[in-house]
Structure 1
Amino acid sequence: MATKLTKALIDKINQINLHFESSIDGWDLDNLDIKLTDEEGSFYQIRNIKTYKRDKERLTIVTARLDLEKNYKIIFAGTETPVYFGAVVRTDEFDNIFAYDGQLGALYSPQATNFKLWAPTASKVELIVFKNNQEEAPQLGTFTMNREENGVYSCLLNGNQNGLSYQYRVTFRDGTVNYTGDPYAKAVVVNGKRSVVLNPDEVKLKNFKRMTKFTNPVDAIIYELHTRDLSIAADSGIKNKGKFLGLIEEGTLNSKGKPTGLDYIKSLGVSHIQILPIFDYGSVDESKPDVPQFNWGYDPENYDSPEGSYSTDANNPQTRIIEMKQMIDGLHKQGLRVIMDVVYNHVFNAAKHAFHLTVPGYFFRYTRTGQLSDGTGCGSDTASERAMMRKYMIDSLTYWAENFKLDGFRFDLMGIHDIETMNEIRAAIDEIDPSIIILGEGWDLNTALAEDKKAIQKNAVEMPRIAHFNDSIRDTAKGSVFFDDEPGFINGASRQEKLLLKNIMGGQDLDSKTYNFSGPDQVVQYLEAHDNYTLYDKLLLTNPDDDAETRRLRHLLGTSIPLLSQGIPFFHAGQEFMRTKDGVENSYKSPDSINEFDWNRPYEYAENVDFFRSLIKLRKSEPLFRLTTFDQINKHIHALQTKKKLIAYELEDDKVSYIVVLNASEKENKLEDTELKDYQVILSSHGKQDNSRILPPISVTIMKKEK
């Protein structure tokens, strides 16, 4: 029995895992001399010992329920080994003991600031303050924080601490010392490694208010853009290129005198601007504003502070906050609502993130073998089902909604999160404004969470008023995003008509193994988003021999489908003018030359843009194109034809009837067995058109009859 005990970890509230230097196979467990004692010298009965066939260097001792506020040690072979926190931090018992429902962060008042950090597994926490808020400022002082209930450490600094830069030094029982920013920081230094005390009154905007409550999610038309993309091009005519303020400049023109930026977007008629991540992220160096850098921003660093590279002065912690508010306020004044893209499912670097540095092992999911779960494909999955991660998400989202007057939240990889958390988020947001839209990617990803708990499309019915991106309409219409040259309805595939019509009618009766929507307000209808190929680039792959006009018509047909579908239509900015990224499938870190708007293209493809505007105008004016329940849809919409690459359906009430015909054939197509008397063609992708049964090749035709 010469082997050495190397570590002892509490993995359950009554179990300690012992790890040895070499195999313990063949030991006489009945006579094994192992003792468990605490810091006061009390000994604890070991009730059982477990060994493992596949791990012969480990055993587990079972004892009475442990007091996690105490320090323990194992005595084995005359040597004492300290017991540290292990997987117990990921148990319900840990949450029951330490979960905290109070405020955290730097709680400011002009008289004093109370710093509060949740770090229940730490043995000591110190507050370090710095001389100024520059990235490399020297230390000004260190203060030992007091441990309070639920593992919260606090320190009160008297006086007005507005603008004070700080971080925490967190010491653990095993001697590990971590330096970390405040996970609840509302302001940060350049590149976000240190936190800054914020006086909320100094970043308030005069008359900055919420917009009036929105009507219904199906009335929204969402336009997704990236802050830098929109304005960075030399020909944008925008002064604040790549900045928050660039989104709200009025009167900007390209070199040919045509509107760009805000004026152009407003002219489209969309209702909501969805902006790719604008919280502080780690993949751009904010200290080098003159060096061209691009990233989508799905690399969270500080969740509650805006990204500094979009500010005109990243070195001033307040500027980014004020300018982001000015952007939102400016968009609101133009009648445009703002959806924030949020990424709570993973972090930029788990090992260096404040979540791990303050409570190691708690905020992330782990596999049975102790490795970080990686369903996101980004190196980590956060554990939304744990009390303090859930609290964090709710606290963060309500902070953004209340202080930045946001109108919606788009959840990146929402399927990583759990149903209960998403429903609690919905409830918390409802207290601020129930018309705030919540939508997300409900993909079923391989994370360490049971399927029946995941916030995925299959479980959508358990998450009322939370919408999901509908990949069925996307792939049926244009072909799978996973197979570059696979076509869909618009680009040559056969027998897609019936499935596409199901999607057009709100995603009803789709494969129940994947989809289970409760109504059209849960269905985001789209063909293109920031990731994967743009629709134009996809068409180059699926139909390389098309001439330019055929490709234009296919694109117009595809872009029309979300606006003619029941649910929430969604568009990638520039989709209406056939945006291309030169064949780059995922341009998350591609240069500006790939990602920037080509501001000549909206006018080169003005025919497509004008038709897009006309469809938006029709959808806004006619409730039949945006019904609110499946019962209404089934009452008012009827299939007329779904064969031979043609889909035709009628929308009607007691006053009016519309016939919508989508012809994906490269030849003229015939609408059969439908009486067209008294119908007038009100919109056609081919310009003027009679109400003939003969439909032009690759076309969208909408007819109307007053009753």
Structure 2
Amino acid sequence: MPIAEGAKSLSDHIEGAPSEASAHWIDRATVAWRVEPSLRHCLVLSAGRRPSHPDAPEGDERHIALRPGTFDAEQLRRWPHLAGRTALTVDPRDIGLAAEALRGRVVAAAWDAGGTLAAVTGVQIPGVLDDLYAAAATVPLGQNGGLFPRLSLWAPTARTVELVLYGSRRTVHRMRRDDATGVWSVRGLPTWYGRAYTFQVTVYSPAAGEVVTNEVTDPYGVLVTPDGARSVLTAPDAAAHKPPGWDRLAKPAAVPLERAVIYELHVRDFSASDATVPQELRGTYAAFGVDGAGTRELRALAADGVTHVHLLPVFDFATVPERRADRVEPDCDLAALPPDSELQQECVARTAATDSFNWGYDPLHHSVPEGSYATDPDQRIREFRGMVAALNRAGLRVVMDVVYNHTYDIRVLDPIVPGYYHRLLDDGTVATSTCCPGLAPEHLMAGRYVVDSVVMWARRYRVDGFRFDLMGHHPKANILAVRRALDALTLDRDGVDGRAVVLYGEGWDFGEVAGGARFEQATQTRMAGTGIATFSDRMRDAVRGGGPFDADPRVQGFGSGLAGDPNGSPAGGGPEQQRARLAHYCDLIRVGLTGSLADYVLPSGVRSSELDYNGGPAGYTAAPGEAVTYVDAHDNETLFDALAYKLPQHTSMDDRVRMQLLSLATVLLAQGAAFVHAGSERLRSKSLDRNSYDSGDWFNRLLWDCSQGNGFGAGLPPRADNEARWPYARPLLADPALRPGCAAIDAARAGFGELLRIRASSPAFALGSADEVRRRLSFPGSADGVIALHVRTDGLDPRWSSVTVVFNATPHPQVQDVPVAPGETLALHPVQAAGHDPVVRASAYDPATRALTVPARTVAVFVGSPAG
């Protein structure tokens, strides 16, 4: 900042903390600062020593002299966003001062030739900490040791660190610092087990402008007291933390991503509304072990072909009181209110901050199970493991939704090493583009924190996969480091085959890291070739229509009426615009059906990577297993709700079911991982809520009993995220024809199960490699609103020589020509031929014309049998 006139000395301007920190100490020898290079520069420290720089002003501060320099290629690679700064080189005589300097206040200052102070700013220190303490990357942290526990904390800038133990009395224990690593540690006694503990860290805080003492939990801790107030010293592998049979846990067979069908589920949703589960177990881990309606349905889904349950965040998060007695639930008779009323959302909003529901994307302790899902927060380790075991017994592997890109606040990490773990903007403020304080896994020990936490969940809890929230805010190198660490786990040594653990995430590109501004990101295009998958939003938008942030939610897509059933909304444009959009959407869906391959050539002759998707490439993967294909998820409206907005209101419930299944079929019959939001197979609705993260149990109901409906008509969705859509929502919610009964829900579930069994019946839907997809998969025909997918399976499938899928999204029967080999005969897939739906059973092949006839709003699958 510029210095006011009349300054007496440098100390006058740095008594407190500067309001910004725009200088970056990137390694022990280099500072980057947007400052005039012709000035004289130094780092001002908080203890007394004569300045080494001959031109530095006199005073009682210590100084590290800086001289103009240049960035080398490696520095520019590691710090691309600092390329335009002035490079300042630390005087070699002062490099030895760095470690001690970082344990106090450090300020960058510049003055002109006349000795007038020109600028002063705080200093960002992650780079120099990584340089000085690189040896810390392999030192054990957290709790280690057997009978005599050892506790270790990385706190290189701390003046002192003490362990505080709680129990019958509070005791404080000195910890010893290793100067080479910056790690503080203490060896304890067997009697320490079971006691709560914290670390008392005395450290300079730039925010406070002084040395403070922070009492903090252990970021590597594995157990905490309710609501995360303190860590608990425990042996997680002790018998008390293991459900019966845990050490002999038998897992379902591993499934690679190209064969996976992933069912996204929220722990509380699973049983909160399930009357077949005892009241005291509803909404908890323990509900998965009950032979209730939900568990029976999971077993049925696994038998049909679902391979993984993806659990929304189950680590310790901040926004639900963990003791049931501390929660306050809505006290209104919500079911008695009109279906289009504002009163339901008003009632839910009054207790949203203290009720039992939140999605959980607000991490507090990344390596501790969430306590509100346990019947007793102190039993969270045992009950979490019991849930994993129950899901495995049901035939399902378990994926955790992990959120390492941000924290709820900075209370756990920043007080330990202020200014290190969170990503800072140019002025030193914490980046919040992810919604909350953003973590910085590009920093050595923050990246290690991610790796260690993931490995812990895999080893201690037998988790079979991880979905990274906002993975594009991670460096690609960090996610690859996770992959390498998992791959090193073995059954003999670790009890888990790390190579069978699947990884995928959100590869969105936005915020302060966008476009590789700070590092090579783990975004969609950059993860191609790694074997780590990303969500492909191409299929979602093309099937549903429009985008998730449209002001008018009625923009139609392939699965919502754009193919011949317009809803009359001006948002859809005129007939020419609609035809062009439909043609483009069909190509996007074809790309999705290949597993979003970058180098697949479409029937139009356009390569997938050259087809536009919102300014980027439609196709981007190097292998089909690198795409997670979906049409709905916990974010945005459910598929049923999206179709409620987009299909003409007069559309019959039978046709809504058909369009729901057609939309889901684009996912289930595509190459790559198929991803389905829990309840979509049952027409699940959230009463048009587009962001139900804090909408309580009422709007998030997952109803296993069809007599209770599907959740539609539960009232106008919460005002905060939906009010602009209320004019569109109100007449729909009030329409009783849009509330499905058991016949519709059962038909949707039956059709979904048939699609799953078809996917599992043939390797045609899991070709595995880009070469196989290019060689075997084609898209014959070009009728508007109809997509035909043809896969040659000779030499691959012992039963069938080909598989052909026709997606007819139009309201009329369609005739589709398909390639037929000499002597080959086609027939409706056995699953559909014996299926529940007489309309699908009417699909037919005419050998005389070699054409398929497919009824309106129908997905039909035909299999080819070779001659003889």
TM-score, length-normalised on structure 1? Answer: 0.87
**1:135 maps to what in 2?**
none
Higher strand share: 1
State whether residues 298 and 343 of structure 1, in contact with CA within 8 Å, keep that contact through their aligned partners in structure 2. yes
Q: Please state whether the residue corresponding to 1:434 is helix, strand or coil.
A: helix
Alignment counterpart, residue 858 of structure 2, candidates 680, 699, 704: 699
State whether residues 156 and 417 of structure 2, in contact with CA within 8 Å, keep that contact through their aligned partners in structure 1. yes
Q: What is the alpha-carbon distance in structure 1 between the residues aligned to residue 446 and residue 436 of structure 2?
A: 18
**1:648 maps to what in 2?**
788
Q: What is the alpha-carbon distance in structure 1 between the residues aligned to residue 242 and residue 700 of structure 2?
A: 33
State whether residues 160 and 201 of structure 2, in contact with CA within 8 Å, keep that contact through their aligned partners in structure 1. yes
Instruction: Output aligned runs, 1:237-248, within 5 Å.
Output: 237-238=277-278, 240-248=281-289
Task: Describe the shift of the 1:530–1:690 C-alpha distance in structure 2 as closer, same or farther (beyond 3 A).
Answer: closer
Asked if 1:161 corresponds to 2:165, the answer is no
Q: What is the alpha-carbon distance in structure 2 between the residues aligned to residue 210 and residue 2 of structure 1?
A: 76
**1:277 maps to what in 2?**
313
* AA of the residue aligned to 1:68: A
State whether residues 15 and 63 of structure 1, in contact with CA within 8 Å, keep that contact through their aligned partners in structure 2. yes
**2:528 maps to what in 1?**
461
**2:757 maps to what in 1?**
617
1:92 offset after TM fit, Å? 7.1
Q: Deviations over 1:101-124 (max 9, x none)?
A: 1111122422x2222111111111
1:294 offset after TM fit, Å? 0.3
Deviates most, 409-418 or 546-555: 546-555
Deviates most, 161-170 or 284-293: 284-293
Q: Deviations over 1:554-586 (max 9, x none)?
A: 111001111110111111111111100001111
1:371 offset after TM fit, Å? 2.0
Task: Describe the shift of the 1:295–1:341 C-alpha distance in structure 2 as closer, same or farther (beyond 3 A).
Answer: same
Q: Deviations over 1:607-640 (max 9, x none)?
A: 2211211121121121111110111111111211
Gaps spanning 5+ residues in structure 2: where? 57-64, 69-85, 205-209, 330-355, 490-497, 563-581, 599-607, 611-615, 711-741, 795-799, 846-851
Q: What is the alpha-carbon distance in structure 2 between the residues aligned to residue 689 and residue 274 of structure 1?
A: 36
Q: Deviations over 1:346-387 (max 9, x none)?
A: 00112x2x21111111111111122222231x2222111111
Q: Deviations over 1:522-576 (max 9, x none)?
A: 0111111111110000011112422222211111100111111011111111111
Task: Describe the shift of the 1:146–1:40 C-alpha distance in structure 2 as closer, same or farther (beyond 3 A).
Answer: farther
**1:664 maps to what in 2?**
809
Task: Describe the shift of the 1:215–1:325 C-alpha distance in structure 2 as closer, same or farther (beyond 3 A).
Answer: same
Q: Deviations over 1:449-477 (max 9, x none)?
A: 65260100010225x12011110111111
1:60 offset after TM fit, Å? 11
Q: Please state whether the residue corresponding to 2:324 is helix, strand or coil.
A: coil
Deviates most, 327-336 or 229-238: 229-238
1:29 offset after TM fit, Å? 6.6
1:18 offset after TM fit, Å? 12
State whether residues 165 and 196 of structure 1, in contact with CA within 8 Å, keep that contact through their aligned partners in structure 2. yes
**2:666 maps to what in 1?**
561
Q: What is the alpha-carbon distance in structure 2 between the residues aligned to residue 269 and residue 61 of structure 1?
A: 60
1:253 offset after TM fit, Å? 4.2
* AA of the residue aligned to 1:368: D
Alignment counterpart, residue 498 of structure 1, candidates 576, 584, 587: 587
Instruction: Output aligned runs, 1:74-223, within 5 Å.
Output: 86-91=123-128, 94=131, 96=133, 99-110=136-147, 112-131=148-167, 140-149=170-179, 150-173=181-204, 174-202=210-238, 203-205=241-243, 206=245, 207-209=247-249, 211=251, 214-223=254-263
Q: Please state whether the residue corresponding to 2:802 is helix, strand or coil.
A: strand
Q: What is the alpha-carbon distance in structure 1 between the residues aligned to residue 684 and residue 121 of structure 2?
A: 55
Instruction: Output aligned runs, 1:562-577, within 5 Å.
Output: 562-577=667-682
Task: Describe the shift of the 1:311–1:84 C-alpha distance in structure 2 as closer, same or farther (beyond 3 A).
Answer: farther
Q: What is the alpha-carbon distance in structure 1 between the residues aligned to residue 765 and residue 110 of structure 2?
A: 74
State whether residues 15 and 61 of structure 1, in contact with CA within 8 Å, keep that contact through their aligned partners in structure 2. yes
State whether residues 231 and 261 of structure 1, in contact with CA within 8 Å, keep that contact through their aligned partners in structure 2. no
1:404 offset after TM fit, Å? 0.7
The size of the alignment, in residue pairs, is: 668
**1:681 maps to what in 2?**
828
Q: What is the alpha-carbon distance in structure 2 between the residues aligned to residue 212 and residue 270 of structure 1?
A: 11
State whether residues 247 and 262 of structure 1, in contact with CA within 8 Å, keep that contact through their aligned partners in structure 2. no
**2:337 maps to what in 1?**
none
Higher helix share: 2
Q: Please state whether the residue corresponding to 1:295 is helix, strand or coil.
A: coil
* AA of the residue aligned to 2:660: H
State whether residues 130 and 443 of structure 2, in contact with CA within 8 Å, keep that contact through their aligned partners in structure 1. no
Deviates most, 473-482 or 542-551: 542-551
1:236 offset after TM fit, Å? 4.2
Deviates most, 513-522 or 331-340: 513-522
Q: What is the alpha-carbon distance in structure 2 between the residues aligned to residue 400 and residue 344 of structure 1?
A: 13
Q: Please state whether the residue corresponding to 1:528 is helix, strand or coil.
A: coil
Instruction: Output aligned runs, 1:299-448, within 5 Å.
Output: 299-314=362-377, 316=378, 319-350=379-410, 352=411, 354-376=412-434, 378-432=435-489, 433-448=498-513
Q: Please state whether the residue corresponding to 1:576 is helix, strand or coil.
A: helix
* AA of the residue aligned to 1:197: L
State whether residues 301 and 753 of structure 2, in contact with CA within 8 Å, keep that contact through their aligned partners in structure 1. no
Task: Describe the shift of the 1:61–1:699 C-alpha distance in structure 2 as closer, same or farther (beyond 3 A).
Answer: closer
Q: Please state whether the residue corresponding to 1:179 is helix, strand or coil.
A: strand
Q: Please state whether the residue corresponding to 2:479 is helix, strand or coil.
A: helix
Task: Describe the shift of the 1:17–1:627 C-alpha distance in structure 2 as closer, same or farther (beyond 3 A).
Answer: closer
State whether residues 363 and 406 of structure 2, in contact with CA within 8 Å, keep that contact through their aligned partners in structure 1. yes
Q: What is the alpha-carbon distance in structure 2 between the residues aligned to residue 17 and residue 568 of structure 1?
A: 44
1:213 offset after TM fit, Å? 5.6
* AA of the residue aligned to 1:555: Q
Gaps spanning 5+ residues in structure 1: where? 51-58, 133-138
Q: What is the alpha-carbon distance in structure 2 between the residues aligned to residue 76 and residue 533 of structure 1?
A: 54
Q: Deviations over 1:374-417 (max 9, x none)?
A: 231x2222111111011111111111101111111111111110
1:154 offset after TM fit, Å? 1.4
Task: Describe the shift of the 1:84–1:556 C-alpha distance in structure 2 as closer, same or farther (beyond 3 A).
Answer: same
Q: What is the alpha-carbon distance in structure 1 between the residues aligned to residue 46 and residue 548 of structure 2?
A: 57
Q: What is the alpha-carbon distance in structure 2 between the residues aligned to residue 18 and residue 41 of structure 1?
A: 24
Question: Could you tell me the percent identity over the aligned residues?
Answer: 28
* AA of the residue aligned to 1:500: I
Q: What is the alpha-carbon distance in structure 2 between the residues aligned to residue 383 and residue 36 of structure 1?
A: 26
Q: What is the alpha-carbon distance in structure 1 between the residues aligned to residue 468 and residue 752 of structure 2?
A: 27
Q: What is the alpha-carbon distance in structure 2 between the residues aligned to residue 531 and residue 557 of structure 1?
A: 21
Q: Please state whether the residue corresponding to 1:447 is helix, strand or coil.
A: helix
Asked if 1:488 corresponds to 2:577, the answer is no
Q: What is the alpha-carbon distance in structure 2 between the residues aligned to residue 500 and residue 87 of structure 1?
A: 46
Deviates most, 272-281 or 638-647: 638-647
Task: Describe the shift of the 1:11–1:44 C-alpha distance in structure 2 as closer, same or farther (beyond 3 A).
Answer: farther
State whether residues 840 and 860 of structure 2, in contact with CA within 8 Å, keep that contact through their aligned partners in structure 1. no
Q: Deviations over 1:175-208 (max 9, x none)?
A: 2222210000101000012100011332244434
Task: Describe the shift of the 1:76–1:455 C-alpha distance in structure 2 as closer, same or farther (beyond 3 A).
Answer: closer
Q: Please state whether the residue corresponding to 2:152 is helix, strand or coil.
A: strand
1:339 offset after TM fit, Å? 0.5
Alignment counterpart, residue 44 of structure 1, candidates 48, 52, 55: 52
Q: What is the alpha-carbon distance in structure 1 between the residues aligned to residue 484 and residue 360 of structure 2?
A: 27
State whether residues 230 and 261 of structure 1, in contact with CA within 8 Å, keep that contact through their aligned partners in structure 2. no
**2:100 maps to what in 1?**
70
Deviates most, 417-426 or 489-498: 489-498
TM-score, length-normalised on structure 2? Answer: 0.72
Q: Please state whether the residue corresponding to 2:782 is helix, strand or coil.
A: strand
* AA of the residue aligned to 1:123: R
State whether residues 363 and 382 of structure 1, in contact with CA within 8 Å, keep that contact through their aligned partners in structure 2. yes
* AA of the residue aligned to 2:408: F
Q: Deviations over 1:298-357 (max 9, x none)?
A: 11001111000111111x2xx10001111111221222110111110100112x2x2111
Asked if 1:508 corresponds to 2:597, the answer is yes
Task: Describe the shift of the 1:145–1:85 C-alpha distance in structure 2 as closer, same or farther (beyond 3 A).
Answer: farther
